[in-house]
Amino acid sequence: MQTWLALPDGKEEIDPAFEHVASDGLPLVEAKGVSARVLRGTLWGKTASVTQHAATIYADIVLDAGASVPIDADADERAVLLVEGEASLDGQPLELFTLSILAPGIPMTLTAAAPSRLMLLGGEAFATPRHVFWNFVSSSCDRIEQAKADWRAREFPAIRGDDEEFIPLPEFPKTVSYP
């Protein structure tokens, strides 16, 4: 699963970075019928060693049929995505491959009716809204337009070892965009 994270105010223009974190830096939380890998942030008392610039939760959860796990209300924003199986949130069935946004401030319980895999994601709400177009995310629409112009002009630095292929800016991205 590929995930894009927006940066908080004051950090949007930091230098690009890549960070590899070995599996021992991604804690595994296990209970009867539950296995959850914390990929980013802190969840159920375990913290991933991935750098974060804002409070974030991100976990890969595997549930056996009949197993359940609490979803704490600590994060400002939370969502779950059912990627395999059959599960519900507080008794409400989840749709496969549909992002389900959770009400803020309310603890909930995730329960599997069949063996299931889900992603839990969320974190700190930002003070200013974010805009998205293709691979560009910013609190400024003008900054997104500048990034699009820079991309077309090939003013982004080449990626070491992958500097021959150029992906043109799509006229209409297949991803969700919020101009």
pLDDT reading at 74 higher than 90: no
Cβ 59 vs Cβ 123: under 8 Å: no
- Specify whether 79 is located in the same domain as 149: no
Banded model confidence at residue 61, pLDDT cuts 50, 70, 90? very high
Q: What is the pLDDT of residue 16?
A: 79
Q: 72 or 112, which is more confident?
A: 112
As a whole-number percent, the residues of the chain with pLDDT over 90 amount to 71
45: three-class secondary structure by DSSP = coil
Angle CA 16–25–70, to nearest 5: 105
- Specify whether 115 is located in the same domain as 163: no
The number of folded domains in the chain is 2
Domain span including residue 101 = 23-123
* Domain annotation covers residue 170: yes
* Domain annotation covers residue 8: no
- Specify whether 71 is located in the same domain as 140: no
Averaged over 124-131, what is the pLDDT?
90
pTM (two decimals): 0.85
Q: Which residues have CB under 8 Å from 42's CB, separation 6+?
A: 48, 57
- Specify whether 110 is located in the same domain as 136: no
- Specify whether 100 is located in the same domain as 141: no
Which domain CATH number covers 119?
2.60.120.10
**In the structure encoding, which two tokens stand for residue 74, read together?**
């600590």
Averaged over 39-54, what is the pLDDT?
92
- Specify whether 156 is located in the same domain as 110: no
Q: What is the pLDDT of residue 175?
A: 67
Q: Which of 125, 122, 116 shows the shortest CA–CA distance to 36?
A: 116
- Specify whether 32 is located in the same domain as 86: yes
